[in-house]
């Protein structure tokens, strides 16, 4: 009995030490000098440490970040966190896209990451440009697939089923899909094109389950009760976009960034 208790205590201590070490490494990535003051100022809305801990991202994992955009806000954190023991795929737009916006953002992302090989040198840029090119990572290779505020874009272009399938295929059995998305008010009608940028949480859960995922948990880490979701320019009325520019700027700054769902799914 004493041996069992001792072994259990040592096991608990071991896990606690690993978790503390992981958290310390993640915190260093978040506080790193490679991140701009502008990007760090958004941590108060995006809660990167709490969010990545909720998704159970560990530094020795293979992680796919979906559509990191031109600035790679989360890439700035994931790349240094994973570079020594793990692997990061940045599933970006295609360089051969017919859409200038996609090509421009990929170019900006590559320029930024190529300029800091000590941070991003081990990252792999893959391609997600449905329906033509879907090659985010080898099938069954990823421990985690993460997407931040992208689902409304896929809905707008009728791409959501294809992307959810790609994310499912990339994950190992037991792997986790982590989703953060602008959250529409419960009970509202869901625009199938999500033109406001907001999506109902129950709608996202249904899409994930239709792709084969099991819903695991949800968190209010990125919730914002000040967000009414009803604005002239949709979610882009709020910061950081502030599409109305100086019109009611202080009002929208006082609201902050959007109310967001944070959802965790598992591939069986």
Angstrom distance (rounded) from CA 219 to CA 198? 17
> Above 50 in pLDDT, residue 13?
no
Indicate the domain borders of the chain: 2-266
Distances (CA, A) of 146 to 7, 253, 262, 264, 267: 35, 27, 11, 10, 13
Indicate whether 40 pLDDT > 90. Answer: yes
* Separation of alpha carbons 12 and 103, rounded Å: 49
Taking CA atoms, 159 is separated from 208, 212, 256, in Å, by: 13, 16, 29
Do β-strands 171-182 and 142-148 pair in parallel, antiparallel, or remain unpaired? Answer: parallel
Place of tokens 């990823």: 142
| Class of 2-266 in CATH | alpha beta
pLDDT at res. 117: 97
| C-beta neighbour count of 99 within 10 angstroms | 12
Contact between residue 23 and residue 48 where contact means Cβ atoms under 8 Å apart: no
Q: What is the band of 7 on the pLDDT scale with cuts at 50, 70, 90?
A: very low
The total number of residues written for the chain in this structure = 268
Q: CA dist 17 to 62, 84, 241, Å?
A: 21, 18, 40
Torsion angle in degrees (nearest 10) through CA of 149, 191, 187, 162: -50
| CA 123/CA 63 separation, integer angstroms | 10
What confidence score (pLDDT) does residue 6 get? 39
Q: What string of DSSP letters covers 82-123?
A: HTTTSEEEEEE--TT-S-HHHHHHHHHHHHHHHT-HHHHTT-
Q: Is the pTM of this model over 0.85?
A: yes
pLDDT tens digits, one per residue of 88-136: 999 999 999 989 999 999 999 999 999 999 999 999 999 999 998 999 9
Does residue 137 register a pLDDT over 60? yes
């Amino acid at each position: 009995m004493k041996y069992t208790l001792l072994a259990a205590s040592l096991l608990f201590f071991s896990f606690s030490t690993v978790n503390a070490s992981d958290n310390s490494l993640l915190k260093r990535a978040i506080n790193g000098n490679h991140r701009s003051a502008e990007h760090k100022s958004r941590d108060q809305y995006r809660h990167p440490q709490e969010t990545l801990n909720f998704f159970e991202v560990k530094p020795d994992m293979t992680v796919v970040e979906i559509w990191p955009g031109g600035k790679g806000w989360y890439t700035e954190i994931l790349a240094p966190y994973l570079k020594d023991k793990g692997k990061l795929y940045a599933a970006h737009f295609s360089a051969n896209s017919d859409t200038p916006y996609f090509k421009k953002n990929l170019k900006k992302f590559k320029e930024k990451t190529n300029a800091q090989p000590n941070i991003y040198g081990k990252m792999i840029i893959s391609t997600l440009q449905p329906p033509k090119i879907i090659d985010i990572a080898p099938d069954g290779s990823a421990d985690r697939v993460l997407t931040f505020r992208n689902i409304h874009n896929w809905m707008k272009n009728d791409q959501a089923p294809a992307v959810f399938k790609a994310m499912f295929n990339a994950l190992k059995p037991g792997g986790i899909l982590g989703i953060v998305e602008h959250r529409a008010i419960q009970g509202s009608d869901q625009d199938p094109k999500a033109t406001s940028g907001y999506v109902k949480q129950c709608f996202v859960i249904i899409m994930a389950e239709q792709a084969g995922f099991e819903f695991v948990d949800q968190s209010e880490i990125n919730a914002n009760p000040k967000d009414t979701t009803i604005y002239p320019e949709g979610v882009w009325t709020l910061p950081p976009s502030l599409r109305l520019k100086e019109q009611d700027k202080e009002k929208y700054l006082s609201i902050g960034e959007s109310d967001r769902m944070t959802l965790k799914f598992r591939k069986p």
